[in-house]
């Protein structure tokens, strides 16, 4: 089997894996609605008792729209393979990738993309409904350019988040128990990425500082591209910056794993 057919098979396995436990799959989609619902009630109460039409440069409608879009994007780019990688390192699962014609990085990336295909299809349908409702309520100015750039930034966010988490997983070579570390880093990244609420809540200085990190380009930037909060020139500039972070973290992932593999004892498997 040549390398192209091998990766095609891995991609297909990723799709099958995402649908293997159908109840768990749809339950996870349903679970994404609960954080959005909680934030809806919180923001409704905040705006009602503040007596102001806009907070943190967002109107009530805009903050609800951001919450919904950020919740969907956050769910879409979520990795959830951290513990699997940690188990491979701990139990010797990496052994087979050292002798087979497929890299561990390639296997994880292609499998991850395969698992996201179904999510992307369902999310696309949800986004069409959200865009239609938001445009009817004049919360969105639907433009073909914005929709196209949003699609590009969404794929970029997926790849960037994969690379960030893959780099973090290299810590498993040095720590025996890492589950809690993954939970903490996942929560921290989600907050810094704007997955829970807009970054403007932290203040202007913090927002400017975070622009020099990769995190806003996974959730905050794609959401604002679609919502219209980002100007046209800033969208193109942000897309280039996002691409730069992807290239940088691709290099970092190769470097960190190459160095960490020297600690691998290849026991088990």
Which pLDDT value is given to residue 15? 72
Strand 54-55 and strand 58-59: the pairing is antiparallel
Alpha carbon distances (Å) from 104 to 44, 111, 167: 46, 10, 13
Neighbours of 256 (CB within 10 A): 18
Residue of 215, 185, 218, 183 lying closest to 202 (CA atoms)? 215
Residue whose structure tokens are 């009630």: 41
Query: Residue 101: what are its φ and ψ, rounded to 5°?
Result: -80, 45
How many H-runs (helices) and E-runs (strands) does the chain carry?
12, 2
Report the percent of the chain where pLDDT is more than 70: 91
Q: Is 232 domain-assigned?
A: yes
Distance CA 154, CA 171 (A): 27
Q: Can you tell me the distance from the alpha carbon of 218 to that of 74, in angstroms, rounded to the nearest whole number?
A: 8
**Taking CA 184 as the corner, what is the angle to CA 180 and CA 185, rounded to the nearest 5 degrees?**
115
Residue 181 lies in a domain: yes
128 pLDDT higher than 90? no
Sign of the torsion angle spanned by Cα atoms 31, 32, 35, 37: negative
215 versus 83: the higher-pLDDT residue is: 215
Q: Is the pTM of this model over 0.95?
A: no
Is residue 162 situated within a structural domain?
yes
Per-residue model confidence (pLDDT) at position 24? 63
Place of tokens 């292609």: 110
Q: Report the residue count for the chain.
A: 269
Residue 268 placed within a domain: no
Domain count for the chain, please give it.
1
Q: What is the span of the domain harbouring residue 18?
A: 3-263
Q: Is residue 33 part of a domain?
A: yes
Query: Positive or negative CA dihedral for 166, 169, 171, 174?
Result: negative
In a domain, 269, yes or no: no
- pLDDT at site 70: 92
Domain assignment present for residue 142? The answer is yes
Secondary element (H or E) of residue 127:
helix 104-136
- Give the model's confidence band at 22: pLDDT under 50 very low, under 70 low, under 90 confident, else very high: low
pLDDT computed for residue 37 by the predictor: 87
pLDDT in the model for residue 20: 63
Tens of pLDDT, residues 32-53: 778 888 888 999 999 998 888 8
Q: Which of 173, 190, 196, 164 minimizes the C-alpha distance to 81? A: 164
pLDDT for position 255:
92
pLDDT of 267 higher than 60:
no
Residue 217 pLDDT class (50, 70, 90 cuts): very high
- Report whether pLDDT(268) > 60: no
């Amino acid at each position: 089997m040549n390398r192209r057919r091998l990766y095609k098979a891995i991609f297909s396995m990723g799709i099958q894996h995402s649908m293997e436990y159908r109840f768990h799959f749809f339950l996870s989609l349903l679970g994404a609605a609960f954080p959005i619902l909680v934030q809806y009630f919180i923001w409704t109460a905040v705006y009602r008792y503040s007596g102001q039409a806009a907070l943190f440069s967002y109107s009530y409608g805009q903050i609800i729209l951001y919450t919904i879009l950020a919740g969907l994007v956050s769910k879409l780019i979520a990795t959830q393979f951290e513990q699997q990688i940690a188990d491979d390192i701990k139990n010797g699962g990496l052994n087979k990738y050292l002798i087979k014609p497929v890299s561990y990085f390639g296997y994880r990336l292609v499998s991850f993309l395969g698992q996201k295909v179904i999510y992307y299809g369902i999310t696309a349908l949800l986004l069409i409904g959200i865009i239609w409702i938001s445009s009817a309520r004049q919360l969105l100015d639907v433009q073909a350019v914005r929709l196209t750039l949003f699609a590009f930034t969404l794929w970029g966010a997926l790849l960037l988040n994969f690379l960030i988490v893959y780099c973090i997983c290299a810590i498993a070579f040095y720590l025996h128990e890492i589950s809690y570390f993954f939970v903490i880093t996942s929560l921290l990244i989600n907050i810094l990425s704007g997955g829970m609420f807009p970054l403007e809540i932290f203040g202007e200085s913090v927002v400017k500082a975070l622009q020099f990190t990769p995190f806003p380009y996974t959730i905050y930037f794609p959401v604002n591209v679609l919502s219209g909060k980002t100007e046209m020139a800033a969208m193109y500039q942000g897309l280039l910056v996002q691409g730069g972070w992807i290239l940088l973290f691709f290099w970092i992932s190769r470097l960190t794993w190459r160095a960490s593999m020297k600690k691998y004892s290849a026991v088990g498997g």
